[in-house]
Amino acid sequence: MQTSHPTILVTNDDGITAPGIRALWQALMPVGNVVVFAPERNWSAAGHSKTLHKPLRADPYPIEGARGFVSSGAPSDCVALALLGLVESPVALVVSGINPTANLGQDITYSGTLAAAMEAAIFGIPAIAVSMEAAGGGDARDRAAAAAGEYAPVAAFAARLAGQILREGLPRHTLLNINAPGLPAARLRGVAITRLGMRVYRDELVRRQDPRGRAYYWIGGEAPSGDVERVGTDIWAVAHGYISVTPIRLDMTAPDLLPILESWNLTL
Ligand code: MN
């Protein structure tokens, strides 16, 4: 359904210098005309935002073999700027990632990686969010993962999936959330089509005092876990060595609640 050289917009929430986006754009280059449009800094866990109260910058960024832009905006701003006209050619697919930590279950509501894909879905453009589970996470771990080529299996999978979406399309206002275990290709067990699981967050309030005696706070605690035994979920799949593919829709209506709310006979 697309021309032989569709434009693929590549973005992320970790910033344009992150190893994960480099692995992604390199894998996608044989699939289409890649345009990279990513934030200048790390926006992880910034969620879905739209910058309305200050100017946005978007400057050319040198990328070998592709066009690149770096922006002062959030990941979702990058996608909006590109789709509103900064990228002249029609964008056939948006791919966001590769995030160096997984985005499973309710993580998708925090994730800037997902926010970028959701922005594309709002525009009616098919989108994929790609994340990889990595013990510890963080910048040093991210560099180590890239050095070890750990992004290669999921980057290659994302490229094949991108080709399939370009041929077959996705329903409007949907996207795919991809999560890979942090395993070498030989240890991956396959691909699992999944639903969202339930994360268990272990956040703790950390209260400190600044040098002037005023309290400040961190949201600390251990990394989230989840219900890894609920078969068929994204959390189960990644914990058991599968690349997880979860279809997501923007319509978050809870249909089970409609008749219940009707029965409440709410009035003015
Ligand atoms: Mn991130």
Tens-digit pLDDT profile for residues 70-111: 999 999 999 999 999 999 999 999 999 999 999 999 999 999
Which tokens hold the place of 229? 């035994």
Lowest mean pLDDT among 10-24, 50-64, 132-146, 187-201: 132-146
Report whether pLDDT(144) > 90. Answer: no
Backbone angles phi, psi at 214, to 5 degrees: -95, 140
Report whether pLDDT(148) > 70. Answer: no
Distance 13 CA to ligand 1 centre (A): 5
Q: What is the mean pLDDT of residues 185-212?
A: 95
> Would you state the pLDDT for residue 136?
45
Distance 268 CA to ligand 1 centre (A): 44
Distance 51 CA to ligand 1 centre (A): 19
Contact 241, 187 (CB under 8 A): yes
> Would you state the pLDDT for residue 139?
66
Report whether pLDDT(2) > 90. Answer: no
- Tell me the per-residue pLDDT of 102-135, one tens digit each, with 9 for 90 and over: 999 999 999 999 999 999 999 999 999 999 987 5
Residue with tokens 């996207």: 175
Distance 199 CA to ligand 1 centre (A): 17
Distance 136 CA to ligand 1 centre (A): 13
Distance 73 CA to ligand 1 centre (A): 15
For residue 54, give the nearest of 68, 74, 82 by alpha carbon.
74
Distance 14 CA to ligand 1 centre (A): 5
Report whether pLDDT(49) > 90. Answer: no
**Res. 150 pLDDT band, cuts 50 70 90:** confident
**pTM: predicted TM-score of the whole model, two decimal places:** 0.93
